[in-house]
Every structure is written in C-alpha cells, then in structure tokens.
Structure 1
Amino acid sequence: MASHYPSSTEFRKHSENLKAVTAALVQIERAHKRAIREGDQPSELAIRKIHTLLLGVYAEARLRKIIEDPTGFNGRERELIWLEKSQDKRWSSTVDFAARRHYRVLAHQSLDEVLSTAALARVEDVSAILQHDLAPVITDRNRIAHGQWVWQLKSRSENQFTIDQSNFDYNYVALRARFRLLDLIGRLVNVLCVSEPTFDRDFSSLMQKIDEAKIDLDGSSYSTFASQLRSRGKVAHEVGSAPVVNGPVVGSSKRQRFLRRWLARRRSVDGAQD
C-alpha cells in the first residue's frame, strides 16, 4: 500500500543517505565495543576518531533530511538556508525559519518583538542547544576530516595552532551519549519545522530527554562500562570453549548450564542495545 506522506526526490535521497550513515554508525559502535571487550587499545583509540567523525556526518545528513521535508519549508526558505556556508549556521537558520513559520512571524519582524515570553524561551532553548551541544560535534568532525588529529588550527587560519593539543579522546560512553543527543536534537528541530501541535506537545518531554542524555557526555562512567563489557566477554569465552556433543554440554554442570542461559540473555540485551 502506497504511503500518503508527502515526498520529493530530494527528500527520498536524503532519507536514504541518513539511513546509510546510521547503518554505518551501528557497525562502528559494534567494532568500538569489540575493541574494548578484547582490550585492543590501539584499535579502540583509532575507532574513537572514526566514531567521532561519523557522528558529525550523521548530524549533517539529519539536517539535510529536515530541510528537504516536504511538510516543512517552502522552496524559498530552503534556498535561503542553503545560502549559509557552514553547518552550524544552517542549523541556526533552520530553527529561525521554523520558528517564524510556527509562530507566524513575518520576515521583517524580530522574534523577540512578536513572540510571547514562553514561546521565545522555547526558541531560545533550542538555539542554546545548537550552540552548546551541536556546534562541538560539527567542529570536531571538521577538524578530524582535515587531519587535525592532535594539534588544531585556529579558526580560519592555515598556520596558527591552538595552545593546547587535543586527541579527540572521547570514549564509547561519551560518543554514545552524543549520538542520543543528536537524535533528540534532530527530533526537536524537525517537529518545530513540520508540526506546530507536535512541537507544543512534545517540547517538554524532548527537553527532559536531552538533559538526561547530557549526563553521560563526559564519559565518566566509561571504566564501569568497559569492566562490565570485558566481564561479559570473559564469560562468553568460557561458554564458547565448553565442549559440546549434539547440543548438550559434555559432563554438563549447573554452572555450564547457567552460563549458557546467561549468555543467551546477554546476547538478547546487547542486540536490543545495538
């Protein structure tokens, strides 16, 4: 049965791009967890950078799909957004045009002159999230993509470096939190663009989830996460190395049966998390 949701060639292609990027992220996350589980530090450090880079790619792909959603902007609004050269300015313009459409603010009017205090606060909250939480993702993506893996150049400079070096050493927990945050930011901006009642209904809930996602951005729980992951890997190795004949464990003990049941449950949980 054909879908009645409005579409366009551009929207379909950006949707396919986003789907492909998301699928790649799933594989990178699995490789990242495998490196942690196996204690392969060189691989883990390399994957961290690729993981960080791909999150920036995801943010851009998500924005392109939002902009081209046929239920959101008109052609002229899209043209004006695409005129912005940087990703962070395109995100900001997307929010500005969406707010004007949402609250029916004319082009020559200022948002703070027309919007109620509550409405203006919501728009400012979204803009603040872009500035404080999304902008670093874009900046990190650009620097990694341009080979600035240890020493970063100052903005718009080809020979002046920042004082401090950075290895973009975000661990798995921090990067996973970034992905959750990007997904929520994308949902928040998208509903602002396409649905006034949905934005009004879901704003508080999405903001609460965004605040919850920020808790793990510092990656402080990484040591506990890595320890648990390695422990599960050790148990899986024990179970996997047990001799099996026609299904049952040879000389099966209560411990071996327990380990098999435990491993089956863990695989189910890990699959759901992936």
Structure 2
Amino acid sequence: MRSESFKLWSKYRENRDLVDQSFVSVSRLGKDAIRQDDPIALEAIESLATFLLAAYVESRLNETIWYYSGMKEVPRAALMERTVEERWYRLIDIGFAKLRGVGLRQIPNGLTFTDRARRDELYLVVSEYLSPLITARNSIAHGQWKYAFASDGSTVNPGRTASLRRYSIWRLILEKNLINHFTWLVHDLVVTARTHERDFDKRIADLHSAIYRLRRGDRQQWEDMLRDRYHRRPHA
C-alpha cells in the first residue's frame, strides 16, 4: 500500500516539477523581452507566467495533500471539493489540528497563543498573495488578459482587473520565492510535527525576507539593470 501511495504522490511531484521548469523558462523569455524593449511580447509572457505560477501553487498544494497519502481519506476528499484558496486555508487548519491532537472544530479557539499567531500569519499569506494570483489565473484562463469582467460579462470588474495588472516578471519571480517558503511551512505542518517545530523559526524568517524583498524592491531599477547589461555586452 505504501508503494502505491508513493507512486501516486510521485506523479503529483512530476507535475509540479514540469510546471516549475515551465515557469523558469517563460520567466527567462520575459527577461529577454525586457532587455530587448519588446512590450508586446512582454505583456503576453507576463500573462503566461502568471498562469504558470498559479498552476505551480496548485501543484504544490496537491503534492502536500497527497504526500504518501498520509492524510486520512475523508478530510482529503472534502478538501478536493473546495476551491484552491479554500483548500489552503483548510489544509493549514488540518495541520494544526493534527499537530496538537485536537478536532478541526477546535481550530483556532483550541490553539495556544503561539499556534494561533502562526496560523494567522499563514492565513495572511494566502489572502495577500495566493488569492490575487488565483484570481488573475482564472481571468487569464477565460481570455481576459487585459480587462477582467463580472461573471455575467456585462461590466469590467475593477478588482479582478487590478489583480491582472499586479503581475510583472519582476514580481512573479519574487513571489515564486515567497511561495516556496510558504508551501514548505505548510508541508512541514501537515506532514511532520518534529520538522515543523525544528524548522519553523528558520522557515518563517526566510518567508519574512521574501516578503520584504517584494515590498521594498524596485521593479524599475531591476528592469533598467537588465537592459543596461544587455546593451553593454558585445553583440555579433
């Protein structure tokens, strides 16, 4: 049974690896478009990279849910019926319930002050970073690459349109790093209590550093650096 579980999980991992490699390749094309001052290509590439990063978020989610099929069948089945955003929230709660040996209904009130603070921080990452990305991905998947519309298609949806315009190659690369730190935190929480307790401080510090770089970084300076290096190098 464990062998079958491993085989199933390994297929989720292979999906994640391919999405990861695709994102890296498309991001590289985005950097080339910046270097060569090609705004039309860049706009298309940024939409593709946004879609791929959202797909990466979901593949990391599935990989954790199905990790050696360690999660019980009933909560896992209930998870798969939810949206991607809801699955992340629920997975975090399942992790804390498992970690402390309490029922899901006791989350968050049954947690210690420290665990509640950790849960709140993980929830905040979902709401501030993953949710807008998922929203943008859904618009892109429906061909709404520049303007996102209300569900009936009769008006432009300002919030969803803002989510679309949020993502540059610069931001997507930094968010990929942020997402990696976040997903490992959730993985440790759900899969092994020992690793969660041992590595939490380091992993949360890495997450904070990734958030700081995103908030304090300078997109224009980064893009100017790419162009400057490109134009200064010898061309055949």
| Conserved? CA contact 2:178–2:207, under 8 Å | yes
Unmatched segments (≥5 aa) in structure 2:
none
Paired residue for 2:101, among 93, 99, 104? 104
Relative distance call for 1:71 and 1:191 in structure 2 (3 A) is: farther
In the alignment, the residues of structure 1 paired with residue 172 and residue 158 of structure 2 have an alpha-carbon distance, to the nearest angstrom, of 25
In the alignment, the residues of structure 2 paired with residue 148 and residue 41 of structure 1 have an alpha-carbon distance, to the nearest angstrom, of 18
| 1:52 matched residue in structure 2 | 50
1:4-44 Cα shifts (integer Å, max 9, x gaps)? 99943321111110011011011111111111111212111
| Conserved? CA contact 1:91–1:130, under 8 Å | yes
TM-score (norm 1): 0.77
Identity of aligned residues (%): 25
2:176 maps to 1:179: yes
Relative distance call for 1:193 and 1:5 in structure 2 (3 A) is: farther
1:151-198 Cα shifts (integer Å, max 9, x gaps)? 2233x5443432475452522221111111111111111011111121
| 1:150 matched residue in structure 2 | 146
Which moved further from structure 2: 226-235 or 16-25? Answer: 226-235
| Conserved? CA contact 1:71–1:194, under 8 Å | no
Q: Equivalent residue of 2:165, what SS? A: coil
| Conserved? CA contact 2:8–2:68, under 8 Å | no
| Conserved? CA contact 2:9–2:69, under 8 Å | no
- In the alignment of these two chains, the number of paired residues is 233
Unmatched segments (≥5 aa) in structure 1:
242-274
In the alignment, the residues of structure 1 paired with residue 42 and residue 116 of structure 2 have an alpha-carbon distance, to the nearest angstrom, of 43
Counterpart mapping for 1:225-244 below 5 A: 225-236=222-233, 238=234, 240-241=235-236
In the alignment, the residues of structure 1 paired with residue 152 and residue 178 of structure 2 have an alpha-carbon distance, to the nearest angstrom, of 30
Cα offset for 1:234?
2.4
| 1:17 matched residue in structure 2 | 15
Paired residue for 2:196, among 176, 194, 199? 199
In the alignment, the residues of structure 1 paired with residue 50 and residue 109 of structure 2 have an alpha-carbon distance, to the nearest angstrom, of 39
Which structure has the bigger radius of gyration?
A: 1
TM-score (norm 2): 0.89
Which moved further from structure 2: 211-220 or 115-124? Answer: 211-220
Say which structure is richer in helix: 2
